[in-house]
Structure 1
Amino acid sequence: MSIAASTTETPVLELKDLQVHFTTRIGTLFRRKVVKAVDGISLEIRRGRTVGVVGESGSGKTTLANVIVGLQEPTGGELLYRGRPVGNRSADRKEFGKSITMIFQNASTALNPRMTTHDIIRDPMDVHSMGSTVDRSRRVSELLDLVGLPASAAEAVPAQLSGGQRQRVAIARALSLNPEVIVADEPTSALDVSVRAQVLNLLIDLKDELNLGMVFISHDIQTVRHISDDILVMTGGQAVEQGPADRVLTDPSTDYTRSLLGAAPSLLRGM
């Protein structure tokens, strides 16, 4: 089952029966056990739409995110970029790496503490030799403004910024290569309640302004409700429900989705 497309345009990314299985050894006899972290997920990711991936801890959603951005090789199924299988050639990987970027859960550990904000945002452009030195610095200034940070933040190191500001730096870095899709893995869970909604609203605005595709990973279905056009509910590595957000959240077809809706407190409550 895959999320229905709202357009005939080729998806940026398409996952077909994707699998990530690990073999481990357990017990005193070292018996083999196969862990199915992702087991048969099919999904389409298009520009201008956000797919929310929700599930409890251990459901496989972060492993799925790692496959989408190329940090984890699938053990089965297909991952297509613009209708073509993602290959291992360096040219293919370079194009893929520019088009699909990631915002990690905790900006405090994801940002180099010794680098200034300017250098953190410029670093991906340096790696991909994008434009001239002047172009890259100009791009950094544009991105700071885009994510709502003052120009003075360019010379600050992460320790001199608040948690919300650090996450905005991480978002700016993810945007530096003009990606088609951003994968956001629990991007608000490490933030104070007072800034979570601000960051979520920023992501929504950026998606609309830049026509981004977005995959938003969270354990909180209420937060996913706030940001998503489509929703994939995972447990045990499998999709138990997926489809347009309005349908999944107002008329869930599985007890698991209903339990998430009933049990999870909203990260946005009280804002």
Structure 2
Amino acid sequence: MIPLLHGENLSRTFTGSRGERTHAVTDVSVSLEAGQTVGIVGESGSGKTTLARMLTGIDRPTAGTVRFNGRPIPPQGNRWRESRRDLQLVPQHASRALNPRISIGRHFREVLDAHEIVPRSEYQDLIAARLVDVGLDSADQAKLPRQMSGGQQQRVIIARSLLLDPQVLICDEPTSALDISIQAQIIRLLWERCRGSDRVLAIITHDLRVVRELCDRVLVMYRGELVEQGSAEHLLTEPEHPYTRQLLASARQFSVPGPGADGAASAVPGSR
């Protein structure tokens, strides 16, 4: 079976102003199968976000290839914009993804204009529905980003990504800016909207509760390399790499709740 999304031997190197080279990701190969929910874990600076940006075509790899439905993701241009409907990344820092000069409603309308998925006469109702999905009000369409809190901005970004009903949704710390009560709602929403035999939901997270409860597979990144991957059940109980064991030990040290504990993950219907 052809993976829905496959990255082969991906590397990404950045060159600084003085010519210094930073290897953010080195020779990583990963396959995301349709029907899976995948957790991507690792400390800050391990290459998780860089990998996600390459997999969704936002950044071009220094080396390696990315294929979606068996075909290479095209360079940025008209064909790349078409692929963006099915490949969505929810960034961690919402404020960087929102234009401070335009209203929330216009952010949504620009996406709908670009992809022409519904008639203009349906824009208002669709935007209102997506905002309500993430616990906001339809009247928030009139606000500028600066009139909303960081958590509200994060929910706007999630709602905007769900507008297009993507086949692949990669969320970078989607609940880190949210209150615990809202975390549960957002995790439940992602689970309900992004699960399916033809879809992939991938979540970059430091919260092993979410991984334990939500994910089928786990990828562990360390210093730009993929050091371990496997089923969530196996990897969280019998990790092989020393770094994975260190992550789990740290989670236990800081009293990360297990399955069924109060919190965001336990709100997922049908979770482990």
TM-score scaled by structure 2?
0.82
Report the alpha carbon displacement of residue 35 of structure 1 after superposing the two structures with TM: 2.7
How far, CA to CA, are the matches of 2:150 and 2:20 in structure 1?
Answer: 40
* Equivalent position SS for 1:74: coil
Report the alpha carbon displacement of residue 175 of structure 1 after superposing the two structures with TM: 1.6
How far, CA to CA, are the matches of 2:255 and 2:225 in structure 1?
Answer: 24
Q: Is the 8 A contact 2:8 2:29 kept in 1?
A: yes
**Shift in alpha-carbon separation, 1:21–1:157, aligned structure 2, 3 A:** closer
**Shift in alpha-carbon separation, 1:140–1:50, aligned structure 2, 3 A:** same
* Equivalent position SS for 2:233: helix
**Structure 2, unpaired ranges of 5+:** 264-272
Q: Residue in 2 aligned with 1:15?
A: 7
Q: Residue in 2 aligned with 1:202?
A: 189
Which of 202, 214, 217 does residue 215 from structure 1 map onto? 202
* Equivalent position SS for 2:31: strand
1:3-41 CA-partner distances (Å, limit 9, x unpaired): xxxxx3x32211111111234587xxxxx6543211121
1:51-75 CA-partner distances (Å, limit 9, x unpaired): 1111111111111111122221111
**Shift in alpha-carbon separation, 1:204–1:164, aligned structure 2, 3 A:** farther
Report the alpha carbon displacement of residue 189 of structure 1 after superposing the two structures with TM: 1.8
**Shift in alpha-carbon separation, 1:191–1:210, aligned structure 2, 3 A:** farther
Which amino acid counterpart does residue 170 of structure 1 have in structure 2? I
* Equivalent position SS for 1:40: strand
**Structure 1, unpaired ranges of 5+:** 1-7, 27-31
How far, CA to CA, are the matches of 1:80 and 1:156 in structure 2?
Answer: 38
1:190-209 CA-partner distances (Å, limit 9, x unpaired): 23344333322322222237
Aligned length: 258
Which of 144, 159, 178 does residue 131 from structure 2 map onto? 144
How far, CA to CA, are the matches of 1:209 and 1:77 in structure 2?
Answer: 28
* Equivalent position SS for 2:80: helix
Q: Residue in 2 aligned with 1:188?
A: 175
1:133 matched to 2:120? The reply is yes
How far, CA to CA, are the matches of 2:196 and 2:152 in structure 1?
Answer: 20
1:173 matched to 2:160? The reply is yes
What do you get for the CA RMSD once the two structures are aligned? 2.7
Q: Residue in 1 aligned with 2:270?
A: none
Among all aligned residue pairs of Structure 1 and Structure 2, give the percentage whose two residues are the same amino acid.
Answer: 39
